[in-house]
Amino acid sequence: MQFYDFSFKTLQGLDYSLASAKDKVCLVVNIARKCGYTPQMNELQKLHEEYRDRGLLVLGFPSNSFLFQEPGDSEEILCAYEADYRIDFPMMEKSSMLPIGMNPLFEWLSSVQPNSEAHGLIKWNFTKFLIDKQGQVRFRFGPATTPIQMIPQIESLL
Sequence-distant (≥ 6) Cβ neighbours of residue 68 within 8 angstroms: 34
Active site residue 35: yes
Catalytic residue among 11, 31, 32, 35: 35
Task: Enumerate the active-site residues.
Answer: 35
